[in-house]
Each structure stands twice: as C-alpha cells, then as structure tokens.
Structure 1
Amino acid sequence: MSTDAEAISPARQAISQARGVVVKIGSSALTSLVGGLDHGRLDVLADAIEARMRAGSDVVVVSSGAVGAGLAPLGLTSRPRDLATKQAAASVGQLALANAWGMSFARYGRTVGQVLLSADDFARREHHRNAQRTLDRLRSLGAIAIVNENDTVATEELRFGDNDRLAALVAHLVGADALVLLSDVDGLYDGDPRKGNANFISEVRRRADLDGVIAGAGGTLGTGGMASKLSAARLAADAGVPVLLAAATDAATALADGSVGTAFAARPNRLSARKFWLRHAADSRGTLQLDAGAVRAVAQRRSSLLAAGVTGSRGRFYAGDVVSLVGPDGAIVARGIVEYDSSELAGMLGRSTRELPADLRRPVVHADDLVKV
C-alpha cells in the first residue's frame, strides 16, 4: 500500500489547481442530534469554499444534513428507520439547510440555488441532460448550487444510497476537475483507526493500493461511511476526476492546497459522458447471459455482441434499453444498449449471423454502445 505522505503528488497538484470542484459535506460536519444544524461549523465551511472560489475555481456543493437538520425541529432524538419519518424529517430539514447555506454565503454577496436530485435524474438520459443544464446555468449566473438527494420523494429502491455516490455522479455531470469529500474522518486507513493498529493511506494511485483495506458503514446521522466514500472515490477516479478525502475540520487546507487527507489519482483517460452514464448511472432493464467466447470478445477485444454468443436473457426490455451482460459464472462483465426487444431476441439466442433473417443480422449490442464493468 502507498502510505508515504508526499508534499505535492500529481493527484494533489491536480486537486489544488482544479478549475471546477465539487465539494461534498457529510451530515456529521453540519448537524448534531441535539441541536440540529450547527451554523458556526457551516459558516467555517462556507468561508473555505468562498476562499477557493476567490482563487478562481467554480464550486458545486453537495450537502448532506437534510434529515439531520429536521430531527430537532420535529422533536426526534434519533435518525428514523422508517421511510415516511425520514421523508418527513427531510422535508423540514431541506428548508432549514438551504436557508442556512443561503444566509452563510450572503455574507459574501453570493446567491445560492438548491438542486434536489433523484437517482432517476441520472438513470434517464433526458433528466440527466436537464440536471446538467441547470447546474451549468446556475454557475454561469454566478450562483452556488447546493445539491442534495431529493429525500422527500426517494424510495428505498430508487436512492443513491448516500451523498458520496451522488457527489461522484455530480462531479462527472458538471465536468469537474476535482472532487473533495469532507466528513468526520481525516482520510483513508486500512482498518478502523478507533481500534488501533490502523495505517493511514496518504495516496491511492492504483486499485492495488486498496488491497487489504477494510471499510466500515455509516455513523449515527449519516447513511454513508468509509465504504461509501471509498466506493465514490473509486467511481470518480475511474471517470477521470481526482479525489481528496479529508476531515471537514481541515476544509480550509483541503480546499487551499489539497495537502491533507487521502488523495486518489484519476485514471489517465476520462470516460465520455455516454460511457460513464452506461457504466454508473443508467438503470439496467434486463440481463443477457454470455458464453465464454462472447465474454472474451466483449471484455477483452471490445467487439460487438452477436446473438451467437448469447445463451439466455432475463427481464423484459425493449430496443434502446440498457442491459447487463454476465458471463457463465454470473458476474457482470459489461453493460450496453440492446438493439432488440426481449421478445424478439428470444428466437435469436445462440444462432450465428448467417442463420438469421437479413433484418436480424445487426449486433445484439454494438461495440459503440458497450462499456466494460
């Protein structure tokens, strides 16, 4: 593992010089069970963000804390477990959270715009483009976008799971040059630092640097945890966005020069918006089972998927839907846009191109519409 701290690594340099930055702030950095929103801590974070903006960066804020902000006003003493109470707390907390950010940035004469997103806004291409246009326009007008999941309408089945993943998706959506994840942890460790014998990891340059890392779940107020932060960091880095994981108490330093926390290097070539959407955001409407030869063609040679290599399908889907491609062992190897309805494909499975009618000889999934998982 890479545990040696470096003053200026390529990843940290990229983060410190990034023109577009997405900053995600965890619930624990903004709220408490007893007092709800902590306006003092929020002001300190706004000060750090303002300093980065005055240095020339565009910043989008992904702010957790809506449910936590709604607990105290509703007389709740613990984070609710049932969906209806969570949504009730979010409906109260969203107002308080947006108002608090608005008042804090008003000290600098800045306008705040609230953007509530659901998983469906990323899964559907048209919604995806609308969200992108909204965020781009807010920034062009000089407003600061405060993004959060639309908890008041999200169901358990249609959730991001946590705002760390949402932040990674937003970073790609707006074409950000860096993602900064701020919470109550000061970086990545190979185990739980509260139990001792855990080593701090300063840099993650490749997947192998994460071998042996044990990441835990979320705390009292948040839904995330180190596991979600690690997953989001890998998602963003895979999309070509370097990531800094740091403590909210170190926000000023993190946003000034990126010299604290754990830095995740980005992959050299950034995924296109279409490929990123296919791999990480689009809903899969069905599954195609592939034989070993088709797996090699799709995953190694990046070839189109032909009917001869498909051994089975599951789910009801239509031409133009996104489907998952799985190998003989059931593991997902790729995702892609299918060319046929499931009913039409049923009679084509395992048949070579020359055995099919002329109008059914195009690929099941074209190479241009495939992305390896």
Structure 2
Amino acid sequence: MDPTRTFVKNVKRIVFKVGTAVVTRADGRLAVGRVGAIFEELQALNSEGYEIILVSSGAVGAGRQRLKYRKLVNSSFADLQKPQVELNGKACAGVGQNGLMALYDNLFSQLDITSSQLLVTDNDFKNQDFRTQLRETVNTLLSLRSIPIFNENDAISSRKAPYEDSSGIFWDNDSLAALLALELHADLLVLLSDVDGLFSGPPTDPNSKLIHTYIKEKHQEIITFGEKSRVGRGGMHAKVKAAINSAEAGTPVIIIKYVYHIITLGCE
C-alpha cells in the first residue's frame, strides 16, 4: 500500500461521489459501461464489509438528452426554424432522475446489491430533526448492506442557475458529498473525476503537474484551475473546495479518475 495513504487503512464507511462527466458520455447519454465498471468495484467493497454511500450527479444531463429528443420528434418543420429555447433544468432533472435510478437499480440488481434513493435539498439540512432521521435511515440501510444513493433534488430545489451562490449549506454535489461525509461520520470521501487527479494547472496544459498530496498552505496559491466540468456545475475547483472542507472537519479525501481500480486504494 502507498505509505502516504495510510489514512485509508482502517476505514469502514466510505462516501463516493460521481459527477455528470463520469456517468455520461460526450453526447450526453449515460455511460452504461463506465457506470457498470464502477458499480462492480463498489459491489466488491460492499461484499468485503465496507459501508458504501454513493452521491451521484447526472440527472439534469440525462434528462436534457431525453427531452431534447422528445421535443425534436414532436416538433414540426416550422417549429424547428424558430429560435430554440433552452430546456428548463428542473424539468430535465425530473425526467433524468427517473432514468438514472432505473439504470442504477438494474445494474446493482445484476450484482445482487439492493440500492436505495435519497433526494435532498439545501433547506433540508437546516432542520435538526431531518439530520437525525437521515442518520437513522442511512444507518439502517447500511446495516442491511444496501447502498444509499444521494443526489440533490434539483427538480424542486429553490436554488437558481447558475448556482454561483456558495453561502448555502451545500451548493453542488461535491459539497453535498463532503457534508454527508461529516453528517454520516464517514471514514473517507472519494471524489471520482474524469481527469487523473488534481493538477497545478489545466490538465490539457503540458506544463501542468499532478499534485500527489494537496497541502493548502503550499498549493492554494500556485494552482490555476481550468474550465468547470463540461456538463456539470462543478469541476476540479469545486472538488478541491469540498475536499478542504471535508479534511478540515476530520474526513480524509482522495480525488481519482474513475478508471482507477478503487480496491487498490489500499482499504483494508
């Protein structure tokens, strides 16, 4: 095991977060093979006794793809000549969440895993009774070897695009994952990305270097972040911010690419 990652040796409860860029392809469709491979890794950890909590983005992107197709087939030639209005993101979330969970439930069922869905909003966490019930529900699900799947309930959330307000309790699924790691007393937070990890600059820049261990005092002034995620509202900047918050609260964090073999993190 990597000696610099000894903090993963005795973990039991792990929060995994997958973003839109991980669960969807470049054309917006769900990346079934990629998601299936990740789920096989999670199933292996689950069978070894680890408590797995999944935070997944992707509902808005998946729903937008389906609604664009539905709008196209129901439009006349004259309609298509008119300026096209951007689809409502909350409507996309409502459609996409349904399809996303249908896929997840099917894939997990093939692996003999029972999954469960929990949708939350920023306002929910302002209620202490909600937080208490959340912990009780998740603890029950984990005791039954079920994998809880969290997502922000974008369809009814009061948050407005472009989601730039970071004054709330959480403001994207990266910060939600960090919040859940704290609330649910996780031993480790793993943020899966579509790049190899945290770089000193945009990953496409040949001069950018991979940062193995982030030290806030050393690295916060030298990192140049690239554009946000191609499809989600987060990106590496959001991941680092969430990671810092989580680490400062006592939960260690690893940012890795989704193709990385999760079991080789050294959890034992």
Name 1:97's counterpart in structure 2: 100
Counterparts in 2 of 1:15-30, with a 5 A limit? 15-30=8-23
Partner Cα separation in structure 2 for residue 86 and residue 33 of structure 1:
18
Superposition CA RMSD, Å: 2.3
Residue 223 of structure 1 and its aligned partner are, at CA, apart by 0.6
Structure 1 segments (4+ residues) deviating >6 Å: none
Name 1:13's counterpart in structure 2: 6
Partner Cα separation in structure 1 for residue 264 and residue 10 of structure 2:
8
Say which is worse superposed, 201-210 or 88-97, in terms of deviation: 201-210
The answer (yes or no) to whether the contact 2:46–2:145 under 8 Å persists in 1 is: no
The answer (yes or no) to whether the contact 2:201–2:209 under 8 Å persists in 1 is: yes
Name 1:243's counterpart in structure 2: 253
Q: Deviations over 1:45-79 (max 9, x none)?
A: 100111112222100000111111112211269xx
Query: Does residue 86 of structure 1 match 2:79?
Result: no
Indicate the percent of aligned positions where both proteins have the same amino acid.
33
Name 1:48's counterpart in structure 2: 41
Counterparts in 2 of 1:105-184, with a 5 A limit? 105-156=108-159, 160-184=170-194
Q: Deviations over 1:119-157 (max 9, x none)?
A: 112222222222222222211222110100000011235
The answer (yes or no) to whether the contact 2:28–2:61 under 8 Å persists in 1 is: no
Q: Deviations over 1:65-99 (max 9, x none)?
A: 1111112211269xx997x7111111011011111
Partner Cα separation in structure 1 for residue 142 and residue 2 of structure 2:
32
Aligned partner of residue 204 in structure 1, secondary structure:
coil
Which amino acid is the alignment partner of residue 105 of structure 2?
A: G
Query: Does residue 228 of structure 1 match 2:229?
Result: no
Query: Does residue 256 of structure 1 match 2:260?
Result: no
Residue 17 of structure 1 and its aligned partner are, at CA, apart by 3.5
Name 1:326's counterpart in structure 2: none
Aligned partner of residue 63 in structure 2, secondary structure:
helix
Provide structure 2 residue ranges, at least 5 long, that are not aligned to the other structure: 72-83, 161-167
Structure that is richer in helix per residue: 2
Partner Cα separation in structure 1 for residue 43 and residue 198 of structure 2:
26
Provide structure 1 residue ranges, at least 5 long, that are not aligned to the other structure: 1-5, 260-373
Which amino acid is the alignment partner of residue 62 of structure 2?
A: A
The answer (yes or no) to whether the contact 1:32–1:221 under 8 Å persists in 2 is: no
| TM-score between both structures, scaled by the size of structure 1 | 0.62
Residue 161 of structure 1 and its aligned partner are, at CA, apart by 2.6
Which amino acid is the alignment partner of residue 192 of structure 1?
A: P
Which amino acid is the alignment partner of residue 3 of structure 2?
A: I
The answer (yes or no) to whether the contact 2:18–2:56 under 8 Å persists in 1 is: yes
Residue 28 of structure 1 and its aligned partner are, at CA, apart by 0.9
Which amino acid is the alignment partner of residue 103 of structure 1?
A: N
Structure that is richer in strand per residue: 1
Q: Deviations over 1:241-263 (max 9, x none)?
A: 1100011111xx2x21327xxxx
Change (3 A) 1:207 1:128: farther
Which amino acid is the alignment partner of residue 148 of structure 1?
A: N
Q: Deviations over 1:159-215 (max 9, x none)?
A: 833210010001111110000000212111111121221121101245334331222
The answer (yes or no) to whether the contact 1:36–1:71 under 8 Å persists in 2 is: no
Aligned partner of residue 7 in structure 2, secondary structure:
helix
- Whichever of the two has the greater Rg, that structure is 1
Which among 54, 60, 65 is matched to residue 58 of structure 2? 65
Q: Deviations over 1:14-66 (max 9, x none)?
A: 22531000000011111135352121111101001111122221000001111
Q: Deviations over 1:278-315 (max 9, x none)?
A: xxxxxxxxxxxxxxxxxxxxxxxxxxxxxxxxxxxxxx
Partner Cα separation in structure 2 for residue 105 and residue 204 of structure 1:
33
The answer (yes or no) to whether the contact 1:68–1:89 under 8 Å persists in 2 is: yes
Name 2:165's counterpart in structure 1: none
Name 1:313's counterpart in structure 2: none
| TM-score between both structures, scaled by the size of structure 2 | 0.84
Query: Would you say how many aligned residue pairs link Structure 1 and Structure 2?
Result: 246
Name 2:207's counterpart in structure 1: 197
The answer (yes or no) to whether the contact 2:195–2:203 under 8 Å persists in 1 is: no
The answer (yes or no) to whether the contact 1:115–1:148 under 8 Å persists in 2 is: yes
Aligned partner of residue 185 in structure 2, secondary structure:
coil
